[in-house]
A and B are shown apart, each in its own frame.
Chain A
Amino acid sequence: MHKLLIKNELLGCIQCGRCSAGCPVSLRTALSPRKLIYKNLRESRKLPKSQDIWSCTTCRTCQQRCPKGVSVMDYIIGLRSYQVERGKIEPTMRDALESILKHGNPWGRPREKRTQWIDDETDVRILSEGEETDVLLYVGCTPAYDPEIQKSARALAKILNDADVDFAIIGNDESCCGNEVKRMGELGLFEMLVEENTALFKKYKFNTMITISPHCYNTFKNEYALDFEVLHYTQFLKKLLDEGKLQISASIDKKVVFHDPCFLGKQNDEYDAPRELLKYLLTDEDNLLEFGRNRERSLCCEGGGGRMWLEVESESPRNAEIRIDDAKSIGAEIVATSCPFCQLTLNDAVKTTKSEDKIRVVDICSLIAENKFEETEMEE
């Protein structure tokens, strides 16, 4: 029997099907974790060559819900790693991985442009080797390069400056965190990034790292052995609020619903910090709505697990489109998120469902920045 099956406790599977029932892509793709395990145990104990595993968003629902402790998601990532070793992966994923090796980001953009998100109105200190700061803002690839998500990075920088936080960034030497790399099954590249990033962080002195993406947060917090505190920015801003260092006055009188990102919620149990921040922003707390599927049951937007670089074929609507329809049906006007990938997938869904005049998708830090610096940011 292959070691991957033993390591992930596949033999404990009782075929109850809870994994497939909870899987956010099993309804729209051919992936069924239960069937995959069945076939692997029943028909052949060699590793299956199924391409269905690439639909997985690594949301972790299956693994979380399995009553027998089968590491379903880790098994799927393991299967991917064998396909990666054979080199036969989708070209779009191949390009993302090669770009990370060459340029330190999956978007095929040059390293020298990593700090171009900083505009004339954004004041950000870039650390030189040996320099000190209280808070290191790890920007991440998508906020650094994606024109839409760059707004979140700028908004966060403004908020931090306004709250007199001593913060700085690494600049063009910052590289991909590797969270998606690991989940695409490129374990060798992931290890290399862990080594290089750990050595890079040692060049600076700081107490806390904050990230914009829950994906970066997840891997730095759980998969690196780092000797400093790692927080998602919503957690950090919540802390500033509690300490009285950040003031937010209620100004939004619209109905807002929060979409839990898998890598902040399900995978790291942080459901409250973003909601607390939103409550401060709302003129009426009752305007904070909830999706039917929220918190640990939140519907995955399909942006994780390398799926940002892989479109799966399906007749059924995308999860992000279902999410936007759900938001409309509960009467929400704003879908707030705190993850760059969720923001991109949901924003696309707003366009494909022609909901631009009904729903706005926005990151919590942009909402806060609009609230605080109204004149300059209002129309962002």
Chain B
Amino acid sequence: MNSVVCIKRVPETAEATLKIAPDGKKLEEENLVFSLNDADNYALEQALLLQEEFDGDVTVISVGPPETDEIIRMALAKGATNAIRIHHDDISKLDASAVASLLAEQIKDLDYDVVFTGAFASDDAFSLVGTMLARKLEIPHITMAIEMKQDDEDEAEISRELEGGLIAKYRIKFPAVITVQTGMNEPRYASILGIKRASQKEVDVVDDPTIPENKVQLEKISYPPEGKKAEILSGTPEETSSRLAEILKQKGII
């Protein structure tokens, strides 16, 4: 069975010092480290696991500038068989619907059973592309999958985690779109030699795609308003943790 995995190159923002670009619509990219979106990494791993079990192709597809090839090569090193990059200079200018249209335009002609996407991208956190993609491909979808069991090639049992830790199980017939949560599996490592070898593999570049019109416009990104009561604790970990414990006790929290 064949899978398609939609992947995105995103900046790692957890510990980085973030600066908003002068136009107020994106982050300054200098000093940021980019990598494969976390949830997409799990989506890719799920496709590779299926491939190990049922054979078939794994096609990775991404929208972005040439730098996107870094994450594509990583996916190829892990075992993806084909790669498509839909060229776009600045994906921060595209809304979810535009991205979904660009992806659908390519995917519709592929021979596939499942399309995997990450449940959301860590940069804009829309959680929309998977759903919109399913609509455009006119196939069913399941979002936020945390487990996937499959005995045959035509359908699968998918679990989703609901509020309060409830688990809902579904059966879905292929073809379908599945958006994957982090934690669904344990993504493998792409070795440097593997990545180097993968750079010989061909990436199919769609150079001049028709860019769909955005329906949602980003107005402006801003820093969170300064908190009035923020207190930064300084000192050794021992000092700061006992001070923190003190404060929590004072406030009656512990």
Contacts of A260 in B (CB 8 A): none
Are B236 and A112 closer than 8 Å at their CB atoms? Answer: no
Are A102 and B12 closer than 8 Å at their CB atoms? Answer: yes
Contacts of B186 in A (CB 8 A): 91
A110 within 8 A of partner (CB): yes
- Bound Cα distance from A98 to B36, whole angstroms: 11
Are A85 and B237 closer than 8 Å at their CB atoms? Answer: no
Main secondary structure of the interface of B (DSSP, over half): loop
- Which among A62-70, A183-191, A320-328 touches the partner chain? A183-191
B171 within 8 A of partner (CB): no
The total of chain A residues at the interface (CB under 8 A) is 28
Given contacts A91-B186, A102-B35, A112-B31, contact A186 B16 (CB under 8 A): no
- Bound Cα distance from A323 to B136, whole angstroms: 64
Given contacts A102-B33, A147-B237, contact A192 B189 (CB under 8 A): no
Main secondary structure of the interface of A (DSSP, over half): helix
Instruction: Determine which residue in A87, A112, A186, A188 has the highest number of CB atoms from chain B within 10 A of its CB, and name it.
Output: A87
Contacts of A148 in B (CB 8 A): 237
Contacts of A110 in B (CB 8 A): 12, 15-17, 33
- Bound Cα distance from A243 to B186, whole angstroms: 55
- Bound Cα distance from A85 to B193, whole angstroms: 8
CB < 8 Å neighbour of A188 from B31, B79, B187, B193? B193
Are B12 and A112 closer than 8 Å at their CB atoms? Answer: no
Are A85 and B236 closer than 8 Å at their CB atoms? Answer: no
Are B196 and A188 closer than 8 Å at their CB atoms? Answer: yes
Contacts of B78 in A (CB 8 A): 87
CB-nearest residue of chain A to B48? A87
Are A187 and B33 closer than 8 Å at their CB atoms? Answer: no
B188 within 8 A of partner (CB): yes
Interface string of A208-237 (1 = CB under 8 A from B): 000000000000000000000000000000
B244 within 8 A of partner (CB): no
Are B15 and A188 closer than 8 Å at their CB atoms? Answer: no
Are A89 and B192 closer than 8 Å at their CB atoms? Answer: no
- Bound Cα distance from A93 to B188, whole angstroms: 11
Are A84 and B33 closer than 8 Å at their CB atoms? Answer: no
| CB under 8 Å from chain B, chain A span 88-116 | 88-89, 91, 93-94, 97-98, 101-103, 108-113
CB-nearest residue of chain B to A192? B192
Contacts of A86 in B (CB 8 A): 188
B190 within 8 A of partner (CB): yes
Given contacts A112-B17, A112-B31, contact A101 B192 (CB under 8 A): yes
CB < 8 Å neighbour of A189 from B12, B79, B191, B236? B191
